Amino acid sequence: MVNFFSVYKFILHGIMKLVGVRPQTVEIEPGTIMNFWVSSNIPNKIANTPKKSKPAVVFLHGFTMDGIFTWQLQVLSLAKNYTVYVPDFLFFGGSITDKSDRSPEFQAECVAKGLRSMGVERCTLVGFSYGGMVGFKMAELYPNLVESIVVTGSVLALTRSISDASLERLGFKCWPDYLLPNSVKDVRNMLEIATYKFPYLPDWIYKDCFEVMFGNRKEREELLGALVVDDKVSTIADFPQRVHLLWGENDKIFNMETARNLRMYVILPCSKTLTLTSILNNNWLK
């Protein structure tokens, strides 16, 4: 029987190519290859004038799906007016490394090197969950590259205290138990926890998801192991960039208390919740 997610992924990739968003494989260093989906910036041949350079927006995905699957709707909405970059983190979507480093810092370094190799000088980062943590690390390490950052459902770093409180709230002993499901039931539970009013789906949808979305399990478990850091070694960076948080008041993984603490640490200039489009159209990229 044909797998629904495999077919949908094939169709999705075709749609992206039709709107000018295409995959690029970038060798970050020997043994490390990262896949990026990039929107084209083609000169206007009809008017015989080049298009103005578009602002660069980089979408960083969470831990469940790859980049283009996570951000498909946002990419389709923004690719016309922005140069969109959607990396697949290492061990997602074809990105791979033979290095043993599994830290968010290494993911951040690889994304930054990939962007630099494609000529990106300044960009806005949009990070979700795991991608938010990598995004904060990129903003810290590469202030000349990252102009501003939008984060949703994430933290500066997954400290032991934050991790323990979240796992206790969710009812899991460790993050692999939640993020690396071992059965169709686990997939359903994971998605229902991660979303608000998740719609009813038949079990065969979850089965198809389970079959194709959770590869590289050993390496992903190592990524989760490297994600949790001791409170004593965690430091708070002084971010020169504009930082904006998007949060759901019913977020079960990182609740509103976590969001308020994060806002205090990064000293945000405002607390208003906006849609991503309104943020981008409100001079966030200028």
Angle at 191 between CA 58 and CA 72, to 5 degrees: 30
Task: Grade residue 49 by pLDDT with cuts at 50, 70 and 90.
Answer: very low
CATH number at residue 275: 3.40.50.1820
Please give the backbone phi and psi of residue 34, each rounded to the nearest 5 degrees, phi first: -125, 135
Answer whether residue 269 shows pLDDT above 50. no
The pLDDT > 70 percentage for the chain reads 87
Contact status, residue 57 vs residue 82, Cβ threshold 8 Å: yes
Is 0.75 surpassed by the pTM of this model?
yes
* Mean pLDDT, residues 44-63 taken together: 72
Domain assignment of residue 221, yes or no: yes
Domain assignment of residue 45, yes or no: no
Answer whether residue 83 shows pLDDT above 70. yes
Domain assignment of residue 48, yes or no: no
CB atoms within 10 A of CB 281: 12
pLDDT digits over 88-131, tens only?
Answer: 999 999 899 999 999 999 999 999 999 999 999 999 999 999 99
pLDDT value of position 124: 96
Polymer length of the chain? 286
* Mean pLDDT, residues 61-88 taken together: 94
Answer whether residue 43 shows pLDDT above 50. no
pLDDT digits over 195-241, tens only?
Answer: 888 888 899 999 999 998 888 999 999 999 999 998 877 667 778 88
Number of independent structural domains in the chain: 1
Question: What's the token pair of residue 123?
Answer: 């960009």
Domain that holds residue 161: 4-39+53-281
Answer whether residue 191 shows pLDDT above 70. yes
* Mean pLDDT, residues 40-65 taken together: 71
CA distance 6 to 212: 7
